[in-house]
Amino acid sequence: MRTFLLRRLAAVPLTLAGVSILVFLATDVLPGDVGRTVLGREASAEAVALYNRRLGLDDPVWLRYGRWLGHFLTGDWGTSYTLREPVAALVRDRLVASLTLALFAFVLLVPVALGAGLVAGARHDTWLDRVISATGLALGATPEFVTGVVLLVVFSVRLRWFPVSAQAGPGDGPLAVLGHLFLPALSLVLLCTGYVARHVRASTIAVVDGGYVRAARLRGMPPARVLSRHVLRNATVPATSALGVQLQFLLGGLVVVELLFNYPGLGALLLQSAVDRDVPTLQAAAMVLGLAYLTVTLLADIAYRLLDPRVRLAVTA
Amino acid sequence: MDRRQLLSGIGASGLAALLSACGVGEEAEGGTEGSASGGPPKRGGTLRAGSPPPPTAVDPVTMYDGTAIAIVQLVAEYLIWLDKDFKLVPRLAESWQSADGGKRWTFKLRPGVTFSDGTPVDAETVKASFDRLLDPGSKSAALSAFATVLKAGGVSTPAPDVVEFALERPFSDFPYLVSAGNYNAVILKRDYAGDFTKAGIGTGPFVLKSYNASTGAALVRNERYWDPGRPYLDGVEIKFYADDQADLLALQGGDIDVQLLSRAALAQPLAATGAIDLDTVNGTGVTVLTLRTDLAPFDRKEVRQAIAYALGRPAILQSIGSGVGDLGNDHLLAPLFPAAPTDLPQRALDKAKVAELLKAADATGLRFTLTFEAPDKDYAVTIQNQLKQAGITVELDQRSSKDFYGGDQTKDTPWLFTPANLVAWAGRAVPSQLIIPMVKSGGTWNGSKYANPALDAAADAYDTATTDAARKAAAATVAKILHEDVPLVITYWSGAVRAYQGKKFRGVQAHPAQYVDFGSVSKV
């Protein structure tokens, strides 16, 4: 396990360096002009050129990258070209917001998706299995902006049970914050449940049809105990990877939900900074998101190894 | 089409239809009742407003987007306010007058005005604000507005309460250039250093209490405001919504009370259900079909006229402009401008005339490429369809906004150098701000490359006119020349709407330039 961890941790800086180079090169070939974005269409060409020159945007790409990397590694993440706010604070606030929503959605997702998958697998090829599978498939195929709008119209606008915006006020307590986050989290849970439940269902079927489960049944073990003792753990292990993938999506792929529910997360910041060619913000957001992705992947792998002794044995053998 | 575009696309029709189908709005019947209720204004309450996040830092000197302008207008003031009918309303200046045939203007300041931190406003303060904008190193768009009219060094202070502007040339509409019509021209403290959101100090009705580039702004009443009793509100909270639909849903769901920047196409269907209230005004914003008069086939006046006659303007105003605004007549004197001509016949769809003009120009079967940016796609497609019915083939060339306005502004930028393009222009306070850059010979943004000494002379005559009659006569000449030569096809002038909850607040008004004046807003 230690060798495995060291190898994976050693790969992190290399991966992030690759990400930073790719993002930097991508922003360099994008059309557009930072000075024009900041000063507007009606600013004179001289003013735009002067602005770009002051930011050092006339320099060669390798020089700009080197300058950015030097500052970034020493903790100076710079100032947003467009918003003129410190990038570190901007990214930190957005990261906290994204993590809060992602973790809340994940906490809702895990029991719902595992439960649905287990029930569908344990009762496979029955009407219950078909209903769960078809519902999960349909919700997974429905874009989150559709489910989001429907949830908003029904629960916020019509019934007024939940606020329209996912942003809580400055003085709101934890319960109010969760109330604000519930609908966006629910729209994400509806989107992700089908994917995870399918994995759990497939592994549950394999486990349920396995020899040791049949043997337990033949020994007269009660069905509930068979499920909890033999099926549950073995069936959920393969779902760990699926859950890891979903957590990665929840951390950075929420642009649509963030826009619809007016939530200031990292995804929307990444999109906007890319559109505006706001390189310091874009690079910092990409680095933080990349690190979050790598962390989640690592944690998923560790969880997989801890849950499945065969994998552990294979490593130590 | 990405998800965001699709989301945006479903907004105008899909979301409104969904809300209507769900019966949303039935409960809000009588929503307009509040707005119509009389009685003295009530003090207190916080108005919650929704608006897109500013794309750049909120800095009065460089701002150009609607949200930043609105925040600044709540905190800081101009010498003169421009109201919804384009009338000038004294604010920090009590009165003004011209001398030397409109080449010298003096403004008398309102006595006893202080900034929210107690610093008095005097002539030197006003001079410093304009010197800041006029500095050639300034990055302000106001430099373009003052171009050829006022330059650095032109402002003086003959008395502590009098500011004098010595212009480069006579300019009869100069008060508009120091009004809200030139939105960067707010009066700031002498030592202002670009830190508006950190120390949001102004003379306006509200004080900026906090600002977050991601979430919004909070403003409280300026207890030192010079107009006794105003504002009526305790404060204003502005929440940023990066998506139009989210902004509208928030208004519908009661999370906000007003939108700063409403879109008629989205708000009108909901207003029709009674769920929200809508104030509507005509405006001077315009999306212009620019034709390169120096390139074939548009170097023939008949071809340009044929295109103008092939367009059904009322249908375009209804479908593209959501029915809010005025019909255009292929000149730059919007009906809202006081000097706009009223006797020029309105150009209308005339297919026989189109055929005749094309034949005269030997351009039957005309075909051309129309370049535009994504937001104008609907308009471009409508033009394509309407011209097709008149036998003119249009190929569409859609560009990203960055590409459309990118490139070298003096050589190859698409919005100024393609043979035919659509360019959206924000509303202007005076016609000269459109005429001089867009159609005067060598104008900075003369995308049609139009050059006509007669028009140049008429535009100069308009600027130097010292009487209303002379100004109107010059305006009529400008309009007639442009209407005849058609370097630009103008089918309609955009109006503006502002959506709000009339059962909660009254006094909310739309403004042609989406400006914000909440000094008179009060609880119902």
Predicted confidence (pLDDT) per residue in B223-237, tens digit: 999 998 899 999 999
**pLDDT tens-digit profile of B294-314?**
999 999 999 999 999 999 999
**pLDDT averaged over every residue in chain A:** 85
Q: Is B411 on the interface with A (CB under 8 A)?
A: no
Is residue B281 within 8 A of residue B517, CB to CB? The reply is no
For an interface test with B, which of A50, A52, A57, A83 has the most B Cβ atoms less than 10 Å from its Cβ? A83
Q: Is A297 on the interface with B (CB under 8 A)?
A: no
Tell me the two tokens of residue B153. 């060094």
* SS3 of residue B368 by DSSP: strand
Comparison of pLDDT for A147 and A303, the residue scoring more: A147
Q: Is the ipTM of this complex over 0.85?
A: no
Is B244 a residue whose pLDDT tops 50?
yes
pLDDT range class, residue B315, cuts 50, 70, 90: very high
**pLDDT tens-digit profile of A271-290?**
888 888 888 999 999 999 88
Among A220-229, B207-216, B363-372, whose mean pLDDT is lowest? Answer: A220-229
* SS3 of residue B277 by DSSP: strand
The DSSP output letter for B179 is: B
Among A133-137, A303-307, B343-347, B359-363, whose mean pLDDT is lowest? Answer: A303-307
- Kindly give, in sequence order, each residue whose CB lies less than 8 Å from that of residue A70, ignoring residues fewer than 6 positions away: none
pLDDT range class, residue A316, cuts 50, 70, 90: very low
Q: Is A262 on the interface with B (CB under 8 A)?
A: yes
Is B25 a residue whose pLDDT tops 50?
no
Q: What is the pLDDT of residue A311?
A: 64
How far apart, in Å, are the Cα atoms of B333 and each of A105, B162, B513? 55, 33, 16
Contacts of A152 in chain B (CB under 8 A): 249, 253
Interface contact flag, A262 B240, Cβ < 8 Å: yes
Contacts of B428 in chain A (CB under 8 A): none
**pLDDT tens-digit profile of B462-505?**
988 988 899 999 999 999 999 999 999 999 999 999 999 999 99
Comparison of pLDDT for B70 and A60, the residue scoring more: B70
Is B18 a residue whose pLDDT tops 70?
no
Is A314 a residue whose pLDDT tops 80?
no
Backbone angles phi, psi at B495, to 5 degrees: -95, -175
Of B19, B141, B239, the CB nearest to A165: B239
CA B288 to CA B290: how far, in whole Å? 6
DSSP characters over A127-169: HHHHHHHHHHHHHHHS-HHHHHHHHIIIIIIIS--S-SSSPPP
Is residue B42 within 8 A of residue B523, CB to CB? The reply is yes
Chain A closest-CA separation from residue B401 CA (Å): 8
| Farthest CA pair distance, chain B | 71
Tell me the two tokens of residue B209. 């209490």
Q: What percent of chain B has pLDDT over 70?
A: 93
Tell me the two tokens of residue B351. 């297919």
**pLDDT tens-digit profile of A101-136?**
999 999 999 999 999 998 998 888 899 999 999 999
CA B231 to CA B74: how far, in whole Å? 10
Cis-peptide into A174, omega within 30 deg: no
Q: What is the pLDDT of residue B447?
A: 96
Residue where the block lists tokens 């950015």: A68
pLDDT range class, residue B403, cuts 50, 70, 90: confident
pLDDT range class, residue B3, cuts 50, 70, 90: very low
Is B20 a residue whose pLDDT tops 60?
no
The DSSP output letter for A308 is: -
* SS3 of residue A198 by DSSP: helix
DSSP characters over A202-243: HHHHHHHTSHHHHHHHHTT--HHHHIIIIIHHHHHTTHHHHH
Is residue B79 within 8 A of residue B110, CB to CB? The reply is no
Interface contact flag, B405 A276, Cβ < 8 Å: no
Backbone angles phi, psi at B375, to 5 degrees: -60, -20
Is B81 a residue whose pLDDT tops 90?
yes
Q: Which among A278, A254, A110, A268 is positioned nearest to A196, based on CA atoms?
A: A110
pLDDT range class, residue B448, cuts 50, 70, 90: very high
Q: What is the separation of C-alpha A215 from the centre of its chain, rounded to a whole number of angstroms?
A: 41
- Sequence length of chain A is 317
Residue where the block lists tokens 């750049």: B56
pLDDT range class, residue B23, cuts 50, 70, 90: very low
**pLDDT averaged over every residue in chain B:** 90
Q: What is the pLDDT of residue A310?
A: 67
Q: What is the separation of C-alpha B7 from the centre of its chain, rounded to a whole number of angstroms?
A: 26
Residue where the block lists tokens 């559709």: A146
Q: Are strands B155-159 and B93-99 parallel, antiparallel or unpaired?
A: unpaired
Interface contact flag, A256 B137, Cβ < 8 Å: no
CA B139 to CA A49: how far, in whole Å? 10
CA dihedral sign of residues B244, B246, B252, B257: negative
Q: What is the separation of C-alpha B226 from the centre of its chain, rounded to a whole number of angstroms?
A: 28
Q: Are strands B505-506 and B522-523 parallel, antiparallel or unpaired?
A: antiparallel
CA B393 to CA A207: how far, in whole Å? 66
